[in-house]
């Protein structure tokens, strides 16, 4: 057995008979299907990367009582230094996919690290539920499994309560017996589910008393009987070639609707049971929500750096880089990247202890979320603005280079002082894939919504800010004078 999980092991684990649909058909083997195979290989490459001898120390650790290394994503930091060590591993992983795999294995690992740190919250809910969570954490972490989650309900009638939606829309408990509970209905939007081993199911949106059938959390293997995974359109499948679509052809993590058709969940995989407030507490009274979104900011720090690198190369390729207004735009973009990095450093350095664990500063994390979900579309827009028509005036596909006549015209028209025509086309196609293609556009939607709509992230910021210290200053000022003038 290798010193830690490898890519080959991961690919093999996905040949498990899961029920995935695309284009009206069931996929016999996701690892071989043209809609998913390259992205699955990119996810497997993460495990191969950490298994390389020179990366073992940076990327992995040995959990107590084990003899096999696992990703540092599963490590529960006890102090600031351990948190930084863990972050460096996560950043290095994100750099392997340029930040384009939002739900890489470290996302759920982070969510569950946070929930495991808050095991006392589960104990208050029930000793059996706490035992289930702790046991599950040991199982998935020691096997370095890839998890995804579905914690949001499908939109239908947003003006109605979740419990009032039409039957079978929102996943709910429909039966229970001594071996477990049965769930029926849907959840969205299982990003990476097709390349994951297990799915964590929960309810993050507020529930009301009376909606107890919807109030559960649990985990299932992706091949659970009755679990139907409805993939969205695959950008990997519609990619023309690696040269034409270097990012979408390899890093399309996919998103899928999950439909639970009377799926049985054993009790040792049930973490929240018929408790509407515990659905909230599992994320917010434990550091779960803080840790999962801290991971998202770590990944984003890599992605925005990549995008700003792209902006710089873009302006070099069309010869605008030295124009003062363009340099000014690049300076602005660079400042945004450093802001994301600074916010990351801030939430780590001003974190706090929860028992023996170190937790990132919650309000700083929510501030970063609020700011970056607005920043991303702005950043994309600015890059497009810097590009003009260069992103569009491109050969239809790599095949145009095969025709000597067309190749000659491409050579004459794709001019750049810093790139050959072929290099310029190669670069501009990568840029379009990232910022303008259907894949690029999905990424804008992802960054705007993966952590909730703006009214949600802003409400977290409102809830967690130290208002007393802010209003206290105002009150202090007001206390220094009155109608009679300054008070002494
Ligand atoms: C690409 C992508 C990948 C995703 N991956 C996952 C995943 O892996 N797992 C998962 O669980 N979820 C995932 N999601 C779902 C994501 O978490 C939700 O989209 C997000 O929480 C927003 O919820 P919603 O889509 O129901 O939008 P809504 O909450 O319905 O908001 C949509 C818009 O409606 C308006 N609105 C709705 N309600 C209100 C209100 N009360 N007050 C004011 N305005 C309101 C606002 O304009 C808001 O922007 C993904 C989403 C996307 C786009």
pLDDT in tens, 333-369: 999 999 999 999 999 999 999 999 999 999 999 999 9
- Residue nearest (by alpha carbon) to ligand 1 atom 48: 453
Tell me the β-bridge partners of 179: none
Q: C-alpha dihedral over 366, 367, 372, 375, to 10 degrees?
A: 150
Residue 354: name the closest of 70, 1, 56, 79 by CA: 79
The Cα–Cα gap between 488 and 482 comes to 11
- Residue nearest (by alpha carbon) to ligand 1 atom 37: 158
d(CA 482, ligand 1 centre) in Å: 48
The Cα–Cα gap between 13 and 128 comes to 29
User: Do you know the residue count of the chain?
Assistant: 488
The Cα–Cα gap between 129 and 273 comes to 8
- Residue nearest (by alpha carbon) to ligand 1 atom 20: 452
Question: Given ligand 1 and candidates 445, 447, 449, 451, which is best to mutate, with the most ligand atoms within 8 Å of its CB?
Answer: 449
d(CA 308, ligand 1 centre) in Å: 27
Is the dihedral angle over the CA atoms 320, 324, 325, 330 positive or is it negative?
positive
Question: Given ligand 1 and candidates 102, 189, 252, which is best to mutate, with the most ligand atoms within 8 Å of its CB?
Answer: 189
The Cα–Cα gap between 402 and 422 comes to 12
Please indicate whether residue 452, judged by its CB atom, sits closer than 6 Å to ligand 1: yes
- Residue nearest (by alpha carbon) to ligand 1 atom 53: 446
- Residue nearest (by alpha carbon) to ligand 1 atom 47: 453
Q: How do strand 172-177 and strand 485-486 relate by DSSP bridges?
A: unpaired
**Greatest CA span in the chain, whole angstroms?**
90
The Cα–Cα gap between 46 and 455 comes to 34
Per-residue pLDDT of the chain (488 residues; tens, 9 = 90+): 789 999 999 999 999 999 999 999 999 999 999 999 999 999 999 999 999 999 999 999 999 989 899 999 999 999 999 999 999 999 999 999 999 999 999 999 999 999 999 999 999 999 999 999 999 999 999 999 999 999 999 988 888 888 888 888 999 999 999 999 999 999 999 999 999 999 999 999 999 999 999 999 999 999 999 999 999 999 999 999 999 999 999 999 999 999 999 999 999 999 999 999 999 999 999 999 999 999 999 999 999 999 999 999 999 999 999 999 999 999 999 999 999 999 999 999 999 999 999 999 999 999 999 999 999 999 999 999 999 999 999 999 999 999 999 999 999 999 999 999 999 999 999 999 999 999 999 999 999 999 999 999 999 999 999 999 999 999 999 999 999 999 87
Question: What is the reported pTM?
Answer: 0.97
CA distances from 301 to 95, 355, 424, 437, 441 (A): 10, 29, 26, 22, 19
Per-residue H/E/C for the chain: CCCECCHHHHHHHCCCCCEEEECCEECCCCCCCCCCHHHHHHHHHHHHHHHCHHHHHHHEECCCCCCCEEEHHHCCCCCHHHHHHHHHHHHHHHHHCCCCCCCCHHHHHHHHHHHHHCHHHHHHHCHHHHHHHHHHHHHHHHCCCCEEEECECCCCCCCCCHHHCCCCCECEEEEEECCEEEEEEEEECCCCHHHCCEEEECCCCCCCCCCHHHCEEEEEECCCCCEEEEECCCHHHHCCCCCCCCCCCCCCCCCEEEEEEEEEEEHHHEEEECCHHHHHHHHHCCCHHHHHHHHHHHHHHHHHHHHHHHHHHHHHHCCCCCCHHHHHHHHHHHHHHHHHHHHHHHHHHCCEEECCEEECCHHHHHHHHHHHHHHHHHHHHHHHHHHHHHHCCCCCCHHHHHCHHHHHHHHHHCCCCCCCHHHHHHHHHHHHHHHCCHHHHHHHHHHHHCCCCHHHHHHHHHHHCCHHHHHHHHHHHHCCEECCEECC
Packing angle, helices 288-317 and 421-435, rounded to 10: 150
Indicate which atom in ligand 1 lies nearest the CA of residue 192.
Answer: 8
The C-alpha angle with vertex 186 and arms to 180 and 192, in degrees rounded to 5, equals 95
Please indicate whether residue 283, judged by its CB atom, sits closer than 6 Å to ligand 1: no
């Amino acid at each position: 057995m290798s010193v830690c999980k490898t890519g080959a092991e991961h690919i093999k684990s996905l040949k498990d008979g899961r029920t995935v649909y695309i284009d009206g058909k069931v996929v016999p083997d996701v690892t071989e299907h043209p809609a998913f195979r390259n992205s699955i290989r990119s996810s497997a490459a993460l495990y191969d990367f950490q298994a390389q001898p020179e990366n073992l120390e940076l990327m992995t650790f040995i959990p107590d009582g084990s003899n096999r290394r696992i990703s540092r994503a599963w490590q529960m930091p006890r102090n600031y230094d351990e948190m930084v060590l863990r972050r460096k591993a996560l950043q290095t992983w994100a750099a392997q996919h340029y930040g384009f795999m939002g739900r890489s294995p470290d996302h759920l690992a982070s969510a569950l690290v946070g929930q495991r740190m808050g095991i006392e919250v589960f104990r208050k809910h029930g000793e059996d539920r706490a035992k289930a969570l702790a046991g599950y954490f040991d199982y998935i972490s020691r096997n370095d499994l890839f998890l995804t989650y579905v914690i949001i309900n499908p939109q239908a009638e947003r003006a109605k309560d979740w419990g009032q939606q039409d039957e079978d829309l929102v996943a709910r408990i429909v039966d229970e017996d001594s071996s477990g509970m049965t769930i029926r209905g849907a959840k969205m939007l299982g990003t990476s589910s097709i390349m994951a081993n297990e799915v964590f199911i929960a309810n993050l949106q507020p529930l009301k008393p009376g909606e107890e059938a919807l109030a559960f959390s649990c985990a299932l293997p992706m091949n659970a009987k009755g679990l139907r995974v409805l993939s969205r359109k695959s950008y990997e499948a519609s990619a023309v070639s690696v040269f034409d679509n270097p990012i979408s052809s390899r890093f399309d993590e996919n998103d899928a609707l999950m439909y639970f058709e009377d799926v049985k969940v054993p009790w040792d995989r049930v973490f929240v049971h018929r408790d509407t407030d515990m659905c909230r507490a599992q994320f917010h009274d434990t550091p779960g929500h803080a840790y999962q979104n801290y991971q998202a900011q770590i990944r984003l720090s890599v992605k925005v750096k990549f995008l700003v690198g792209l902006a710089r190369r873009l302006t070099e390729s069309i010869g605008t880089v030295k124009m003062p207004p363009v340099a000014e735009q690049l300076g602005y973009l660079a400042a945004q990247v450093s802001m994301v990095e600074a916010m990351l450093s801030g939430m780590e350095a001003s974190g706090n202890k929860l028992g023996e664990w170190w937790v990132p500063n919650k309000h700083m994390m929510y501030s970063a979320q609020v700011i970056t979900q607005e920043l991303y579309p702005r950043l994309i827009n600015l890059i497009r603005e810097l590009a003009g028509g260069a992103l569009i005036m491109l050969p239809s596909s790599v095949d145009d280079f095969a025709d000597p006549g067309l190749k000659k015209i491409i050579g004459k028209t794709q001019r750049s002082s810093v790139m050959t025509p072929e290099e310029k086309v190669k670069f501009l196609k990568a840029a379009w894939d990232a910022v303008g293609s259907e894949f690029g556009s999905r990424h804008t939607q992802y960054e705007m919504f993966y952590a909730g709509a703006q009214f949600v992230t802003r409400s977290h910021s409102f809830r967690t800010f130290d208002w007393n210290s802010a209003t206290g200053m105002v009150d202090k000022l007001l206390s220094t004078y009155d109608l009679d003038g300054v008070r002494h």
